[in-house]
Structure 1
Amino acid sequence: MDFELPDEHRMIRDTVREFCVAEIEPIAQEIEDDHRFPAGVFDQLADLDVMGVPVSETYGGLGGDQLMYALVTEELGRVSGSIGLSYAAHVSLASKPIELFGTDEQKERWLRPLAEGEYLGGWALTEPESGSDASNMATAATPEGDGWVLSGTKQFITNASVAGSILVKAVTDPDAGYDGISTFIVDPRADDGFEVTAEWEKMGLNASPTCEIVFDDCYLPAERLLGEEGAGWEQTKKTLEGGRISIAALSTGLAQGAFDHAREYAGEREQFGQPIAEFDAIRDTLVDMHRKIERSRLLTHRAASQYDRGRSVTRESALAKLEASESAREVAEKSVQVLGGYGYTTDFAPQRFYRDAKLMEIGEGTSEIQHLVIGRELGL
C-alpha cells in the first residue's frame, strides 16, 4: 500500500523504521529476557516527536491522524511487541481520550506532558472479576466534599508502574448500569491511596509492565472527572474503536517481523544442496504468511482512514483487530516452524513474536468479543 500513502506518512514511517532497526532491534530480546522497561527508548521516541502522533499540535502532539499513528505502531511492533504495546496504550488509551473528552484545562495539564513524551500514560478498565463483562465493575467513586473518593482494584493495566497519569473507570451511580460509569484522571506519583500491588510475569511482552493497581480511599479533586459524570461507558466505546485499530496495527507489525525473519532464514539455510525457500512447502508457507499480513494491513489502513474521516468504525475496527490478531499468531507460529529447532530458541526472534502475538487475541476485546461486535453490526 506504499503508493497510497501521503508523502508525510511515508516519511514518518521510514524515520521510525530506521530508528527501530538501529536502536530497538539490537536490544529487543535482551529487555524481554531481563523483564526491563526500556525508559530510554521512549525518551528517544519523544525526541522523534511521535509520542503524540494523533494529538493536536496545540497540546504538544504531532498533529497527525489515525493512519499515521497506525504506521508508527506497526513499525514498533515489527521489532518489539513490548515497546509497541506500551506505546499503543499510551497513545490510544491514555492520551487520546483526554483530547476527545477533556476540558481545555485538562488538556493543558494532562495531555501535553503525554503528547510531548514527558511520561507515559495508562488506562484502567479491567478488574479481577470483570473482563469482557465490564458492567460487572466494582471500583467505585463516591462524592466527598468538592471531589471524589476512589476505591477498588484494577487488573492487567499496561504501563501502570511507569505512568505519570492513568485514566480510571469507576462506578458513580450503582443503579444506572452502563450510564453510571465515569472516568477519572489519577496521578500515580502524587495521589494518596494509589498503589501498584503486582507486576505480572507473563508468557510474553515482559518488557511492557502489566500491573494490578489498588485504590484505597484515593481522594481526587472535582477537576479530575473526565467529561460528564456517567459518560464513562460511551467514552470507553469510542476509545476502544481507536484502540482496536492500534492493536490491529501492532499485530500486523508482529506478523511482519516474524515473516521477515522466516524469509531471511529460508533464503540462507540450505538443505539437500539448495536454500529451503526453494522447496515448495517452505515457499508456499511464506506466500501464505505474506497474504495474511497484506490482508491485515489493508483492513487496518481502511479502518484508520475511515476513522480519520469521522465515520463510525465499530465494525471496521473490530474486523481489523480480529483478522490481524489471529493472523499475527498464525504467522508467528509458521515462522517458528520455518526455522525448525532454531525457531524454538531465544537466539532467534520468532519465538518472541509467537509469545507476544497471543495477547493480541485477548487484549482490548477478545476474538470472541470481536465476533459479537461484528455480528451485531451485521444485524445477526
Structure 2
Amino acid sequence: MARTWTPNELGALDHGLREDDLALRDTTRNFLTERVRPHLPGWYTDGAAPVRELAQEFGRLGVLGMHLTGYGCAGASPTAYGLVCAEIEAADSGLRSLVSVQGSLSMQAIHSFGSEEQKQEWLPQMAAGEAIGCFGLTEPDHGSDPAGMRTRARREGSDWVLDGTKMWISNGSVASVAVVWAQTEDGIRGFVVPTDTPGFSAPEIGGKLSLRASVTSELVLEGVRLPESAVLPGVVGLKGPLSCLTEARFGIIFGAMGAARDSLETAISYADSRVQFDRPIAGFQLTQAKLADLTADYVTGMLLALHLARLKEAGTLAPAQVSLGKLNNVRRALAIARECRSVLGANGISADYSPLRHAANLESVLTYEGTTEMHTLVVGQALTGHAAFR
C-alpha cells in the first residue's frame, strides 16, 4: 500500500511554525489524550463534565489566559494560543469554550480595562484555574444587538446597584467572578461581580442538545450592590466587550478547525477498518472523494487561521478579518463534521465516534460570539462600505 499522510502532513501545516509554539500544542495534545478524551463520550451523553477540576488542570497546563502577559499568565504568541485552541476543540468544543471564556473574555476584560487592584485580585487565581470567570453580555432579548441591553446599573451613594438578566452564559453556574456589562447614565460599563454577592444567582440551563460537556447558565441580578471599585475603569461603551469578543473569536477560528480535524481523522481511520464487499470502504472512489474534498477544506481553513495569526503577531489584524475567519472556518468545520458522520454510516450516531458530537457542538459555535449572519454583514460592510445591520 502507498504511503499514507495525515491531513496536517498533506497540508504541511507545521512548516515554518516555531518550535516553542509546537511544543505547547503537543503538550496540550498529550494532556487531552491521557486525561480527557477517554471521558468525553460519557460527559457528553450525561450532559455533565467536572468543570471545576478541568479548570484547575488547564491552569496547571498554563493555557488559561495564556496569551496575556503578567499576573501569572504565560504571554504566549497568538499562534501558540490558536494551536492550543485547535487541540482543545479537537477534543470537544465545550472544553474550548471553558478556556476561551476564561481567558479571552473574563480575564481579557480585567487585563485590558481593570484597575491594578482588580488585576492583582483576580488574574493570578484565574490563570491557575482556582477561580472561574464568566462574561455577562448576552441577554434573553438582546444577542446580536447588545446595545439594546436592559441590564441597568444605578448609583446609590458611593455604591452601584445592578438589576437585569443575562442568558447563555458559559461557566456561569461554576464561576467565582462575573464580568457583567450594564447600561449606566454614562453609557455601557463593565463590572467585576463576585458571584457570592447578595442578589446574584446563576441557574444552569438544562436540556441542551449542544455543548453538553460545558456549563451554560442564566445570570440573574436583583439589587446587586457593588462598591465603586467594582467598575472596570478603563473603558466606556461597547468597544470594551466587543474587543474581548474579537479576542475570543480568534481562538474560535483555530478551534473550529480542531473539531474538523478530529472528525476527519476519525472518518479516515474508520474507513480503513470498515470492510464491505470484501474490502475496506477507504478503497472505494466515493469515500476517497469525500475524504479528499474534506481535507482540502480543512487545510484551507487552517492556512487561513495561521495567516491571521501572523497578522495578529504583527499587530495588523483587523476585526473584520477576524469575522472573515470565524465565518469561513466554523461553516467549513460544521460541513466537514457532518460529512464525516456520513462516512461512518449508522455507527456515526454513536457516542463512541466524535463527528456527530462535533457537529452538534459546532451548531452552537456557529451562533455564539457573532452569528453567521452578523459576520456576513461585517464582511459585507468591509467590502462595500455600506452597513446593512438595520
> Shorter-chain TM-score category?
over 0.9
Whether 1:210 aligns to 2:223 is no
Code of the aligned partner of 1:157: I
Distance in 2, matches of 1:307 and 1:193, equals 40
Determine the structure 1 residue equivalent to 2:53: 40
Determine the structure 2 residue equivalent to 1:20: 32
SS at match of 1:325: helix
Distance in 2, matches of 1:9 and 1:347, equals 31
Determine the structure 1 residue equivalent to 2:251: 246
Determine the structure 2 residue equivalent to 1:85: 97
Q: Residue 103 of structure 1: CA displacement?
A: 2.0
Contact map agreement 1:55 1:115 (CA 8 A) in 2: no
SS at match of 1:361: helix
Determine the structure 2 residue equivalent to 1:286: 291
Among 324, 333, 336, the alignment partner of 1:328 is 333
Contact map agreement 1:267 1:277 (CA 8 A) in 2: yes
Report the number of matched residues.
372
SS at match of 1:217: strand
SS at match of 2:219: strand
SS at match of 1:215: strand
Tell me how large the CA RMSD over aligned residues is: 1.4
Distance in 2, matches of 1:202 and 1:232, equals 32
Among 46, 57, 62, the alignment partner of 1:49 is 62
Contact map agreement 1:164 1:187 (CA 8 A) in 2: yes
Contact map agreement 1:336 1:351 (CA 8 A) in 2: yes
Contact map agreement 1:85 1:250 (CA 8 A) in 2: no
Distance in 1, matches of 2:56 and 2:222, equals 32
Code of the aligned partner of 1:211: S
Note the alpha carbon deviations across 1:248-298, whole angstroms, 9 max, x for none: 222111111111110100111111122111211111111111111112212
Distance in 2, matches of 1:218 and 1:252, equals 40
Code of the aligned partner of 1:183: G
Structure 1 residue runs of 4 or more that deviate by more than 6 Å after TM superposition: none
Instruction: Name the TM-score, length of structure 2 as normaliser.
Output: 0.92
Contact map agreement 2:204 2:215 (CA 8 A) in 1: no
SS at match of 1:191: coil
Determine the structure 2 residue equivalent to 1:159: 171
1:74-223 equivalent positions in 2, closer than 5 A? 74-173=86-185, 180-188=187-195, 190-223=196-229
Code of the aligned partner of 2:322: S
Contact map agreement 1:325 1:361 (CA 8 A) in 2: yes
Q: Percent identity?
A: 32
Distance in 2, matches of 1:146 and 1:70, equals 42
In the alignment, structure 1 segments of 5+ residues that lack a partner are none
Contact map agreement 2:151 2:165 (CA 8 A) in 1: yes
Q: Residue 246 of structure 1: CA displacement?
A: 1.3
Code of the aligned partner of 2:255: L
Distance in 1, matches of 2:204 and 2:136, equals 14
Q: Residue 91 of structure 1: CA displacement?
A: 1.1
Code of the aligned partner of 1:182: R
In the alignment, structure 2 segments of 5+ residues that lack a partner are 1-12
Q: Residue 228 of structure 1: CA displacement?
A: 4.2
Among 315, 321, 341, the alignment partner of 1:316 is 321
Distance in 1, matches of 2:309 and 2:105, equals 16
